[in-house]
Amino acid sequence: MARDPAASYRGWNADANFDRMIEPARRWAPDLLVLTGDLSEDASIESYCRIRDWACRIECPVAWIPGNHDERGAMLPVFEEAGFSSGPVVEAGSWQLALLDSTWPDDPGGELDEARLKPLAELDGGRPVGIFVHHQPIPVGAAWIDKVGMRSAGRLWARVRELPSARFIAFGHVHQRFRQQVDGVECLACPSTAANSLPGTPRFSAGETTPMARWFVLGEDNFRSGYLAA
């Protein structure tokens, strides 16, 4: 979204697309909604207030991480007042969901330093773990967005290898479908509510379903996931 609710993003109106996701999301009736960043294009308070109001209409707990277009300091008061969680760990049944902030000011790419990775070291290795982070920890095969992925991703992967109960890493940022297993860990893109590209193309390429979200069903020690479209 942006300060102007009529603003266009890659030919789409984000507010209208958010509205189109309300009914599919309510039918899905999630136990938790995780917002994976780049919620606003201009980090305006107005846009965060509208996103808050939209998320409240899904009628479930909400968790969030910032994206490179966001400003954590602008989001925090709006979302905290609404009771949205920024983690760094959210409990979901037997699962521990770690919300990691990979964003840095004026930086379209991302990185997790040791301080940002610390929540992973404090998780219970006997329970399944899902990680949410804005930037993709492996290339998705799309040059336009892989050039601003997660730098030094080996740091995250080293921690994940020490955590055998890590089941998935889910990320926003890439505006496309993507799923790939790495060392037994599923890397799962969460497509965009605002505009999606056909997957694996060198430039952002229109033609993919928009708006879209990713659903998860978390079992005792396993999970399923797929795409939810309006």
Q: Which positions touch Fe ion (CB under 5 A)? A: 38, 67-68, 173
Q: d(Cα 200, Cα 181) in Å, to the nearest integer?
A: 16
Q: Which of 47/68 has CB closer to Fe ion?
A: 68
Nearer to Fe ion, 116 or 173 (CB): 173
Residue 169 three-state SS: strand
Nearer to Fe ion, 85 or 192 (CB): 192
Given the complex with Fe ion, which of 15 and 38 has the nearer CB atom?
A: 38
| Residue 94 contacts residue 174 (beta carbons within 8 Å) | no
Nearer to Fe ion, 119 or 172 (CB): 172
Nearer to Fe ion, 128 or 137 (CB): 137
Q: Minimum Å distance from CB 59 to Fe ion?
A: 27
In the complex, least distance from residue 104 CB atom to Fe ion, rounded to whole angstroms: 12
On the CB side of 202, CA atoms within 13 Å amount to 0
In the bound complex, what is the minimum distance in angstroms from residue 26's beta carbon to Fe ion?
A: 26
Instruction: Name the minimum Å distance from CB 110 to Fe ion.
Output: 8
Helix, strand, coil % (nearest 5) of the chain?
A: 25, 25, 50
Residue 66, preceding peptide bond in cis (omega within 30° of 0): no
Among all residues, whose Cβ is closest to Fe ion? 173
Name the minimum Å distance from CB 70 to Fe ion.
9
> Which DSSP state fits 197?
P
CB of 212 to Fe ion, least distance (A): 16
Name the pairing type of β-strands 33-35 and 62-64: parallel
DSSP for 1-69? --SSTT--BTTB-HHHHHHHHHHHHHHH--S-EEE-S---SS--HHHHHHHHHHHHTT-S-EEE---TT
